[in-house]
């Protein structure tokens, strides 16, 4: 078996990332009962590089967390019975006779940000992304609801078998909390839908539970239907049962800081009495402001 791992991002981890990647790949091969020795290549890269690859090969002009490039077209996902000797030239390494499954490319920046967002370790996030990609290499997909549910079940089952769980503690030594929230807000900004103003905003909302919820501004041709990044993050959080929040980071494409609008301030005041607002700009500057400074007097309603 060949597992080729390249760390083009030059990232350092507080765990043996090569051992983790190898264990997930071998575990996935055992899980689907692959009857062949296999070849898999894994590249840890930067947000910039994965953006370029995504644009070139998938015609999607943005960065993503992981890309999978399968070499095989399965008739049935996870079923290797379609392979035979006539396909040896196309599917097997001529020197070793090993089955060439494909390539996995992972953005380290997105991986670290998502680990913080979901409140688990970078090790767990790396394990998840490799497991997710391996099932893509086995022919599974998640375009339809049924496919997505099946793939989620398989990924979860494999990670549980390998004991790569969500309850691993997050490595807080990577960056300070404020810096990490700004980084997550920056990633969220890249997902903004702003075809009318071209003004993109991203937000990262840290709940008291430790989970981080992201949001971006979503514009509408009927301008009043537009929703700001701060409210997008808050709606996602509240819909998941969160009611108390600790910090809110906001990023835009401006050289100056971007403050929440009046509607967002009123909206957040329902849940954010002790919230700290973290503002970042393109120059790398960070400003920390108590929410009560931005919204000293809120609208209240009292029944008669």
With bands split at pLDDT 50, 70 and 90, how would you rate the model's confidence at 192?
very high
Per the confidence metrics, is the pTM higher than 0.75?
A: no
With bands split at pLDDT 50, 70 and 90, how would you rate the model's confidence at 176?
low
Q: pLDDT tens for residues 225-279? A: 999 999 999 999 999 899 989 999 999 988 889 999 999 999 999 887 789 999 9
What pLDDT score does 168 carry? 55
| Across 4-8, 54-58, 207-211, 225-229, least confident range | 207-211
CA angle 264–270–272, rounded 5-degree value: 80
The percentage of residues in the chain with a pLDDT greater than 90, rounded to a whole number, is 54
DSSP secondary structure, 75-121, as one string: SSTT-GGG--GGGHHHHB-TTT--EEEEEEEEEHHHHHHHHHHHTS-
How is residue 91 written in tokens?
């599917």
More confident residue, 176 or 154: 154
Beta strands 99-107 and 66-70, pairing class: antiparallel
| Mean of pLDDT values over 276-285 | 88
Q: pLDDT tens for residues 38-94? A: 999 999 999 999 999 999 999 999 889 999 999 998 889 988 888 865 555 678 888
- The highest-level CATH class for domain 2-161 is alpha beta
226, 220 contact by CB (below 8 A): yes
Q: Does domain 177-294 have CATH number 3.40.140.10?
A: yes
| Across 187-191, 208-212, 256-260, least confident range | 208-212
Domain ranges of the chain: 2-161, 177-294
CA distance 68 to 53: 11
Q: pLDDT tens for residues 23-32? A: 999 999 999 9
């Amino acid at each position: 078996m060949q597992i080729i791992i390249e760390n083009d991002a030059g990232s350092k981890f507080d765990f043996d990332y090569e051992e983790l990647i190898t264990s997930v790949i071998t575990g996935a091969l055992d899980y689907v009962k692959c009857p062949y020795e296999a070849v898999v290549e894994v590249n840890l890269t930067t947000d910039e590089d994965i953006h370029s690859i995504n644009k070139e090969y998938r015609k999607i002009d943005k960065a993503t967390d992981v890309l999978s490039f399968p070499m095989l077209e399965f008739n049935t996902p996870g079923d290797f019975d379609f392979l035979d000797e006539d396909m040896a030239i196309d599917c097997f390494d001529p020197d070793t006779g090993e089955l060439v499954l494909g390539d996995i490319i992972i953005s380290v920046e997105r991986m670290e940000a998502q680990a913080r967002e979901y409140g688990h370790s970078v090790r767990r996030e790396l394990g998840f992304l490799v497991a997710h990609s391996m099932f893509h290499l086995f022919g599974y997909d998640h375009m339809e609801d049924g496919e997505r549910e099946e793939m989620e079940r398989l990924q979860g089952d494999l990670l549980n078998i390998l004991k790569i769980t969500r309850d691993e503690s997050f490595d807080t030594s990577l960056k300070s909390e404020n810096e990490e929230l700004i980084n997550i807000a920056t990633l969220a900004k890249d997902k903004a839908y702003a075809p009318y103003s071209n003004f993109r905003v991203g937000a990262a909302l840290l709940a008291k539970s430790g989970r981080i919820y992201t949001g971006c501004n979503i514009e509408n041709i009927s301008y009043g239907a537009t929703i700001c990044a701060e409210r997008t993050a808050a709606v996602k959080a509240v819909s998941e049962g969160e009611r108390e929040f600790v910090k809110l980071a906001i990023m835009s494409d401006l050289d100056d800081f971007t403050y929440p609008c009046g509607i967002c301030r009123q909206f957040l005041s329902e849940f954010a009495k002790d919230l700290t607002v973290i503002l970042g700009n393109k120059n790398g500057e960070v400003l920390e402001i108590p929410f009560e400074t931005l919204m000293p007097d809120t609208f209240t309603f009292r029944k008669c």
